[in-house]
């Protein structure tokens, strides 16, 4: 199977192929101090998959999908501080020494992101630049994927629907997470 991530901008294939072997996963609701000063939170999921490098040798690639949750406070949207949540996700969910060129970052939005009608789920590929100390991005580095490609990538990465995941989450700090309660 050729799941080439490293030779394409942002590390994702042009089209998702057959489901790759998923070698490791991570899931967490992470909190960070948003650049606007609020304590924001988002659902972060990682998938390390089997891939091949440019020479066809076995390699790994990691997709990091950060889902905007409607319960994050006003002014705490992932799109306005993607580098901030990426820093926390990299520190807490990625293995030490991970290779920046093997990471693909995605912003994930859908009905779970807002109390308003948002339409279908979307994935935006976010190309982050890393200078050994921090991440940076630019709006021109955000590429919205079309709905069919979004659905295909969510299936390929075997990402469960956000409401189902939040409902099933074993919340210990809270009786129920506000985002889970909004989706009975």
φ/ψ (deg, to 5) at 132: 75, -10
CB 161 within 8 A of CB 21: no
CB 72 within 8 A of CB 80: no
| Other C-beta atoms lying within 10 Å of the C-beta of residue 44 | 23
Which of 40-49, 97-106, 161-170 shows the highest mean pLDDT?
Answer: 40-49
Burial class (CB in 10 A: 0-12, 13-18, 19+), 174: exposed
Structure-token pair, residue 64: 């990091």
The whole-number pLDDT of residue 33 equals 92
| Range name among 71-80, 81-90, 96-105 with the lowest pLDDT average | 96-105
Which of 10-19, 35-44, 129-138 shows the highest mean pLDDT?
Answer: 35-44
2 — pLDDT class (breaks 50, 70, 90): very low
> Which residues contact residue 163 at a Cβ distance below 8 angstroms, ignoring those fewer than 6 apart?
111, 112, 179, 180, 182, 183
């Amino acid at each position: 199977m050729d799941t080439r991530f490293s030779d394409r901008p942002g590390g994702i294939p042009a089209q998702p192929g057959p489901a790759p072997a998923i070698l490791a996963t991570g899931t967490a609701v992470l909190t960070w101090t948003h650049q606007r000063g609020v304590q924001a939170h988002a659902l972060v999921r990682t998938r390390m998959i089997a891939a091949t490098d440019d020479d066809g040798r076995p390699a790994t690639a990691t997709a990091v999908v950060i889902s905007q949750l409607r319960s994050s406070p006003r002014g705490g949207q992932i799109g306005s501080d993607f580098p901030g949540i990426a820093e926390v996700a990299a520190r807490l969910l990625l293995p030490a020494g991970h290779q920046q060129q093997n990471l693909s970052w995605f912003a994930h939005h859908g009905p779970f992101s807002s109390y308003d009608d948002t339409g279908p789920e979307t994935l935006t590929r976010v190309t982050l630049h890393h200078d050994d100390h921090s991440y940076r991005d630019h709006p021109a580095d955000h590429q919205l994927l079309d709905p069919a490609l979004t659905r295909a990538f969510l299936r390929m990465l075997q990402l469960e629907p956000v409401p189902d995941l939040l409902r099933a989450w074993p919340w210990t700090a809270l009786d129920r997470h506000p985002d889970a309660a909004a989706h009975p």
